[in-house]
Structure 1
Amino acid sequence: MPSIFSRIVAGELPAYKVAEDEHHLAFLDITPLVEGHTLVIPKKEVDYIFDLPPAELAALHQFAQRVAKGVKAAVPCKRIGVAVIGLEVPHAHIHLIPMNQVSDMNFANPKIKVPEERMKELAAAIAAKVPGADGSPAAKTADKPLESKAERETAASNVAKTADASPADASLEQLRQLTEGLYFVSESDAPLTVVSYQAPSGALDAKELLKLLNQPADTPVQEQELTYFLRNHTADDGVLGNVDLANRYKALQMFLKQELEDVKVYRIGKGPQLEAYALGKTSGGKLAGFKTTLVET
C-alpha cells in the first residue's frame, strides 16, 4: 500500500505544494506546529531516511536547504528549525519549521488550524521565494504552487471519466475510493458509507442535522473533532493492528480536512448503538462525508 506521501506524489491526494524537482517534493503540513511548517520528501518511497543511499540523502538535504530559504523569506521568523521524526508516516521526510523560540519545535505542542485561504497564501508566498538549483530566485516548483479545490476536483472527475460531473460529484468519487473496504472498529465492525446532503442555508447545528436526517428532534447529538474520532484508527499501533490500514485512514482524514470546510463528527442517538456522521461542506456548498455505526456497551 503506497504511503500518504506517495499518493500525493502520484496526484491521488491534494497538497499545498511549495517546491518540486524530479526527485523531491515540498508541501505545507496540514496539521502544523506553526504557520509555514513544511514537509520535504523524496519522491521515491523509503520508510527510514537513513536507508537512503548517501548521494540521495545529500540531494534531499540540498533540496531542503533551498526550500528552507524560501520559507524563511516568506514567513517572519528568526530561524528555520529542522527535524526528522520518522514515526508519523512511513515515508522519509524532513520538517522545516519557522521558529522564534525553542518551544516552537516541540512536537508535543497542540497543532494549529490554519484556514484554507491562509494556507494558499503561504504556499504561494513560499513557492515564490524558493531559489532555483543554481541559486537564482526562480524555483522549479510544481506547475502551479497550489491548485484550487475546484481544479483538483475537476481533475479527479476527469480521471474518473466523469467530466460532466460537478465538483461535489468529484469529491464524492474520491471519497468512495478512499473509504472503499474501510471499517470502523468499535464493539463491532461497521463499514464507512459515503453520504451527501443539501447543506442548510445557515450553520449546521444539531437541530438542522436531525431535520436533514429525518430524526426525532429530541435525539441526542454529540460533536467530536475528526482527528479525535479517528485517533485509534490512524495510529500505527491502533485498533486495526495494521500499518497499511492506518495509512489509509490517515489519507482519508487528510482529504476530509483539506477538501471540506468545517469538518466535524456528529454522534447521533443513545447507546449501545449510535450512528456517526463525519460531515463538512464542499466547494459547491453541499454536505459530504461518511457515516458509520458504533456499538458501545
Structure 2
Amino acid sequence: MEKTASELAPSWLSIPKDVNAISKSIWPASFVRDASGDVQVGGVSVAQLVAKYGSPLMVIDQADFISRAQVVKQAFDSTASKIQTSAKVYYASKSLSTTEVVKWVAANGLNMDVCSAGELALALAGGIEPGRIGLHGNNKSVSEIDEAVTAGVGAIVIDSEIEIERIASISSSQNKIQNVRIRVNSGVHAFTHEYLATSREDQKFGIAIADVPELVAKIRSHSQLNFLGLHSHIGSQIFSVEGFIESVKRLMPLHKLLLETGSVPELNLGGGFGINYTAADQAPEVSFFASEICSEVEKRCRELGIEVPVL
C-alpha cells in the first residue's frame, strides 16, 4: 500500500498498489472479478445487472446475507447455551428493510427490531411473526404504540417515563397485556465515533440508572404491562468489547435489585458490533463479542448469586 499524496487525507487512507484488487474483508464473499475484468456478485455479472436494471443499482447477495445472519445467531446461541441460558438476536430494520429481507430474517430464526410505524408495517408485510418484533424509538407517537399493541409485537422498549402510561392505556383499551423492556442509559462511553455513541450521559436515549427502579415500579403497577427486563445500547460500529463488559458491570447490580421486587427474565445488552468499511478496519469476529459478553454475564451472576437471564 502506498500513502496518498493528499495532506488532507486521513492517515489510514492509502492508495492500493492494485486499484482493481478486491478486499475480501469489505466485500461479500461471492464478490469476485473474472479474467475479463468483469465483477460478479453471487455468480451474476454486474455488467449484466446494470444492462438490465440501469445504474445506480443496489445489489444484495441473498446467500451472503443469510450466511452472515446465521453466523451471528449461531455465535450467541452457542455461547449462551454454555452458561445455561438463551439469546434473542434482532435484525435492525434501519440497516436495510424490504419485504424480501424480512422473509430472510424470519426464515433464519432472527427477531426484528423496528423503530417506526412504517418499519412495523413492512415487517408485518414480510410475514414475520408479530411476537418476534421489538418496537424501539425515543419519540414514539401514540398511533405507533397503538399499531404495535394491535399487531401483538413481542416487546416495546420504553425510552421515557411518559410511554409507560401511554402503553398501559392502549393495552387496557384493547384488553391486552403488553411485554415491555426499559432502555437504560448506562453512561458507558463506547469506543466508537462520538456521533455513533448512544449511551453517554448527555444523550437523549434511555433512562438514567438511578431513575430505573422507580419507573419499573410504575410499570409493575399496571396489570396491562409485563416487565421483561433492561435494555442497553451503547452505540454502533464498535470494535472493542470493553464497552459491553462495562455495561454488564453496571447493569447487573440493577438487575439484581429489580429481582427483589419481581421477575426480570431478560437482560438485553444491545448490539452495534463493528464491521469493516475500509481495508484499514479490523473488526473482531462476532463470536469474540458473544463469548466475552456471555462470560462476563455468567461471572457477575455467579458473584451476585442470581440466575443468568435470557440475553
TM-score, normalized by length of structure 2? 0.24
Q: Which of 1 and 2 has higher RCO (CA within 8 Å, sep 6+)?
A: 1
More strand by share: 1
TM-score, normalized by length of structure 1? 0.24
